[in-house]
Structure 1
Amino acid sequence: MPKKIQILIIGHNGNITPEVEKIAYETGVEVAKSGAVLITGGLDGVMNAACHGAKDAGGLTVGIIPQSEASFANQYCDIVIPSGMGLARDFLNALSGDGVIIIGGGSGTLSETCAAYMHKRPIVAIKNSGGIAEKYADQYLDHRKSIQIIGVSSPKEAVKTILEKINST
């Protein structure tokens, strides 16, 4: 059996707007419908909403959490990897996905985005979700122009685009 594609969704932790929650939930649904495995940081906010959507659509979810105890993960994680690494787990998350979808996000999301960028993982940003996604959509992170972060307008377009990028590498 071939390896399943793994898509990392990153974004705001904690309280998110209803609009961002809907985007994250729908993106999780689209990942599940594609047959890919959804990977997140396993906590609240975008991670929780994306996992919820994937679970509702029958998908498999993995949460790589910064804590050392699985009980910190959101309830929609099928598999919990308690890294015990704190913020350093951002690199583990970035390298666990064959591609990355950014929804909103702050400094932690930027850290994961930078790690994925340095390792030339395909990255898609949903433009209307604010935060890091909005700021870096259709941009490069630095002068090396390793990979462009592709800006998209919807969850469906995000998953379609990231799968195309993953399958072309």
Structure 2
Amino acid sequence: MSQAPRQHSEYRKGPVTLRRSQVPDSTTDARLLDSSVNGEWVHTDPWRVMRIQAEFVEGFGALAELGQAISVFGSARTPPGSKYYDMARRVGGKLAEAGFAVITGGGPGTMEAANHGAAEAGGVSVGLGIELEFEQGLNPYIDLGINFRYFFVRKTMFVKYASGFIVLPGGFGTFDELFEALVLVQTHKVTKFPIVLVGVDYWQGLLDWIRSTVGEYGMISPGDLDLLQVTDDVDEAVRVVLEFAHR
């Protein structure tokens, strides 16, 4: 089982804050998915269900009256002052100016930038944090923040309360959020809504591979790539999601 870094001044575990010797050696998600505990799960998992239920209730209660919102995804590693940080900040500001709340994962990098833009434009800036062995804590530009233990609860909130997704460059976490959204739209599990990728240079290679390899092998339908739009224009990205939301 992986060891949690001990250098954090604070460790967030849902609504609980831990410090120093109280920082756990693994996350709640990791313990839930650990298959090496033999039959212990028989005694612990029923109680986990109650905690999972509580996280859903808390999330629904906090976000139910949020109003129209757009989820913005991207890397926690995007440095302030970089091209994509500035673009994410502009995205957050333009969405807020249009009267939409901005939902991010609550962390640093692109998430912080989008929250920053929304906050300085006077909009509602939302952060949905997650218990991790790194990237602890919510960024300072969040008006409404919720810390989750379980990824799948958090992902539900991203989709349920958004009218569209804007996705900036990111790594595995961003890919996970992007492809989960695509699958939900492709399979009609959610009402079709726009997914816009910002950063042509970053995303084009992935789109070319999907079209030339995944498509040619018949692993997706010919029209599935139409579920995605890609642009370098922040104004266009915002326009696409807002036009759909207004419809």
Q: Could you tell me the TM-score, scaled by structure 2's length?
A: 0.58
Unpaired runs of 5+ in structure 2? 1-64, 186-192
Cross-structure match for 2:231: 152
Separation in 1 of the partners of 2:232 and 2:68?
Answer: 22
Give the aligned partner of residue 123 of structure 1.
195
Check whether the contact 2:119–2:141 (CA below 8 A) recurs between aligned residues: yes
The answer to whether the Cα contact below 8 Å between 1:26 and 1:155 also exists between their aligned partners in 2 is yes
Higher relative contact order (CA 8 A, sep 6+): 1
In the TM superposition, what whole-angstrom CA distance separates every residue of 1:120-147 from its partner, at most 9, and x where no partner exists? 24200112473x587349x789614285
1:96 equivalent in structure 2: 161
Aligned to 1:10, which of 73, 81, 87? Answer: 73
* Residues 88-97 or 55-64, more deviating: 88-97
**CA RMSD, Structure 1 to Structure 2 (Å):** 2.9
- The structure number with the bigger radius of gyration is 2
Match of 1:143 in 2: 220
Shift of 1:32: 0.6
Which residue of structure 1 aligns with residue 111 of structure 2?
A: 47
- Counting aligned pairs with the same residue, the percent is 26
Note the residue ranges of structure 1 that are not aligned, 5 or more in a row: none
**In 1: Cα distance, 2:77 partner to 2:170 partner:** 11
Which string of whole-angstrom CA distances, capped at 9 and with x for unpartnered residues, describes residues 92-151 of structure 1?
Answer: 424432200011111111111112112224200112473x587349x7896142852111
What is the CA–CA distance in structure 2 between the aligned matches of 1:33 and 1:167, rounded to whole Å? 15
Question: What is the SS of the residue equivalent to 1:9?
Answer: strand
Give the aligned length: 163
> How far, CA to CA, are the matches of 1:28 and 1:57 in structure 2?
8
Distance (Å, rounded) in 2 between the aligned partners of 1:27 and 1:149? 18
